[in-house]
Amino acid sequence: MAGRHGAKQRGLDILCVSQFTLYGKLTKKNQPDYKAAMKAIPAKAMYENFLELLRSQYETDKIHDGVFGAMMDVALVNDGPVTIVIDSDALPSSTPPIIE
């Protein structure tokens, strides 16, 4: 099945979870600051447009989503590569990296 790694190519379901508050940064007190995150109304419109785009290009019954802005408890198993982009200022050279 080489070259058939996408959800559409494999006929898989897609779960979309709105997380517009993920764009945040830590303050000097190590508290989350979401001021740079998209505001709720345009974020909801963008999310709904994204869902429409998915549904227009894939099987509608295989696209699943929750309620925008609602508290959701989602359990999953990551099976494959995950990309995490961390945008931060450079650490001082005397600070060792934290690896867990």
**Active-site residue set:** 21
CA dist., res. 46 & res. 29, Å (int): 31
Return the amino acid letter for 91: L
Q: How far is CA 37 from CA 3, 22, 66, 81, in A?
A: 35, 7, 20, 26
Give the 3-state secondary structure of residue 34.
coil
CA dist., res. 23 & res. 38, Å (int): 8
